[in-house]
Amino acid sequence: MNAVVKTPHEVHESTGRNIVFRTRGREHGPITRMVSPSDIGRMIKPFVFLDLVDSQQPVGQKDFGWHPHSGIATLTLLIEGQGHYMESNGHEGPMSAGDVEWMSAGRGIWHTGETAPPIKAFQLWVALPEDRELSPAFSHHLSVDEIPFDGPARVLLGRSGSAASPIDAPPGINYFDVRLEAGQRWTHQPPEGHRVAWIAVMEGSLRAPERVGKGELAIFDRSNAAIEFEAIADTRFVLGTAIPHPHDLHLGYYSVHTSDAALAEGEREIARIGRELHAKGVLR
């Protein structure tokens, strides 16, 4: 899987994937919900949720107060601003622009976060496979300097070329943070079987091959073809590709599992942790 950057004069007819769906999501306050497990998440699973946070004001307990998860992993990409995260397993720490925080909820965990404005971030949920959805929770924070590059792509999950993310994510999932200068072309060939592919543009606009602008999420057809990009302006976007998640999604309010039985077990665990947090005075 090699990333190839092309200059504007290397123009050729597109033979890559085509866009089959696009959305600008739904805004509620400083958050734009671009993907939910009950709608677009069913189209691009294992990617089942994506929020874009963009605010000049503090974003704290009202939006990111203590809440539980099970059956998923979350990946927070802080694009601008400063933040702090805390988790019920005792893991906590600061985040700076460019950092990522992976939290594999597994059987169950609670977390919270606070930010200092201006703030811009993406939060992604990944549906965990059967062998991980009830495993012990764990987290992995990567500072901006610890994230490997392949050409214009920062490899947040998975690998591209010789660049591999140190995060222990499920196999068959890639997630990149990509920057292209105006006029720059980039062709990405996902691994065999990565028939799920989508982008969300945070800055600028590009052709892929249709135009996709700031604030849009676009889904590509399910094939093994390469994905071709040309930046119309200086552009930054996230790209997710994956082997399709083979299970129906069984949904709780903060949980996604592969079966009703796994969902029930996850919800029992997050209820147990919630009682502990109440006893400690963390939750009121």
If you count DSSP H runs as helices and E runs as strands, how many of each does the chain have, helices first? 3, 25
Q: For the chain, 284 residues long, give each residue's pLDDT as a single digit of tens.
A: 444 444 333 334 456 899 999 999 999 888 999 999 999 999 999 999 999 998 766 555 454 689 999 999 999 999 999 999 999 999 999 999 999 999 999 999 999 988 888 899 999 999 999 999 999 999 999 999 999 999 999 999 999 999 999 999 999 999 999 999 999 999 999 999 999 999 999 999 999 999 999 999 999 999 999 999 999 999 999 999 999 999 999 999 999 999 999 999 999 999 999 999 999 999 88
Which pLDDT value is given to residue 115?
Answer: 83
Which residue in 76, 73, 52, 198 sits closest to 127, CA to CA?
73
Note the pLDDT of residue 234: 98
What the chain holds in terms of domains, given with CATH numbers, is 3-279 (2.60.120.10)
Contact 101, 141 (CB under 8 A): yes
Neighbours of 13 (CB within 10 A): 6
The helix/strand/coil state of 266 is helix
pLDDT at 20: 97
Tokens of 98: 């460019």
Residue type, 146: E
> Cα–Cα distance between 249 and 252 in angstroms, integer?
10
CA distances from 256 to 52, 95, 173, 249, 261 (A): 20, 26, 17, 6, 12
Q: What angle do CA 189, 192, 194 make, to 5 degrees?
A: 80
Q: Residue 5's pLDDT is what?
A: 44
Q: Which of 260, 271, 227, 174 minimizes the C-alpha distance to 19?
A: 227
Burial (CB < 10 A; 0-12, 13-18, 19+), residue 103, is buried
Using CB atoms within 10 Å of the CB of residue 279, give its burial: 0 to 12 exposed, 13 to 18 middle, 19+ buried: exposed
Contact status, residue 272 vs residue 236, Cβ threshold 8 Å = no
Report pLDDT for 114: 83
pLDDT of residue 47: 98
Please name which of 25, 38, 17 lies closest in space to residue 252, comparing C-alpha atoms: 38
